Structure 1
Amino acid sequence: MNHSRWKTARTRALLGEPAPEAPAVTAARQEIRYALALGQAVYDRRTALGISQTEVARRAGMTQPQISRIEGGDTVPTLPLLERLAGALESELDIHLVPGSEAEVRFHSPAA
């Protein structure tokens, strides 16, 4: 870091301004938010149905630890796996993504 950048960073810190975030960090944070939104949606639907992670795993052809990792936001499943999850949760899956905004992920009962 050169002196000019250091001085700018020091001034911002003294003024209480947050340092600008690197684009890679911003992208990583967004990916984490997506994973957590999906995990919460799986958890919400599973508990609404009153079934265990083990039962969801059995229905989706997965293992209970895989379901746990999805619910915990530790992994982002592929599209075919999302389709299997929706079937296991007797649901349709809606994912609404708007750049620079929070993701909306929702499992809901199929339309009649």
Structure 2
Amino acid sequence: MAGHTRWTTVRASTRARGISESPETARRREEIRLSFDLGQAVYDRRAELGISQTEPARRAGMTQPQVSKLELGGTMPTLPLLARLARALDASLNLELDGETSKVVFTAHTPAA
């Protein structure tokens, strides 16, 4: 079971038993969820472009292992790095954060007419 899915299952089980989680656990769970959502968005856009991890890494001034770690949800990049990554993926980065839900999408730039 993937880490994100396992955390979600554990949280649901904990809530069903009436056990409340600590604020630190809740904060960490949210960080993991956001990191995973971002990583999935990077992977989806890169796959849409049909390029390897090396290409966006080169374009964004990163290394391939850094892109890999980001795609796996293992890191939360800074805003300047997110801006470079969006440029490297020829897209706009769209974040929707609303309570316990989030949506992270790289939207392809439309070609100039």
Q: TM-score normalised by the shorter chain: which range applies?
A: 0.7 to 0.9
Instruction: Determine the structure 2 residue equivalent to 1:5.
Output: none
Instruction: Determine the structure 2 residue equivalent to 1:74.
Output: 74
Q: CA deviation at 1:18?
A: 4.0
Alignment RMSD: 1.2
Instruction: Determine the structure 2 residue equivalent to 1:57.
Output: 57
Unmatched tracts of structure 1, length 5 or more: 1-15
Are 2:109 and 1:110 equivalent residues in the alignment? Answer: yes
With normalisation by structure 2, the TM-score equals 0.81
Unmatched tracts of structure 2, length 5 or more: 1-15
Instruction: Determine the structure 1 residue equivalent to 2:89.
Output: 89
3-state SS of the aligned residue for 1:81? Answer: helix
CA distance in 2, matches of 1:33, 1:45: 18
CA distance in 1, matches of 2:97, 2:71: 19
With normalisation by structure 1, the TM-score equals 0.81
Mapped contact 1:35–1:76 kept (Cα < 8 A) = yes
Are 2:21 and 1:21 equivalent residues in the alignment? Answer: yes
Q: CA deviation at 1:17?
A: 1.4
Amino acid at match of 2:91: S
Higher strand fraction (1 or 2) = 2
Q: CA deviation at 1:110?
A: 2.3
CA distance in 1, matches of 2:50, 2:77: 22
CA distance in 1, matches of 2:17, 2:57: 46
> For 1:11-37, what per-residue CA distance to the aligned partner results, in whole angstroms no more than 9, with x for missing partners?
xxxxx7142100110010001000000
CA distance in 1, matches of 2:49, 2:43: 10
Q: Percent identity?
A: 54
> For 1:79-110, what per-residue CA distance to the aligned partner results, in whole angstroms no more than 9, with x for missing partners?
000000000000000001012x2210000112
Instruction: Determine the structure 2 residue equivalent to 1:41.
Output: 41
Matched residue count: 96
Q: Segments of 4+ in structure 1 off by > 2 A?
A: none
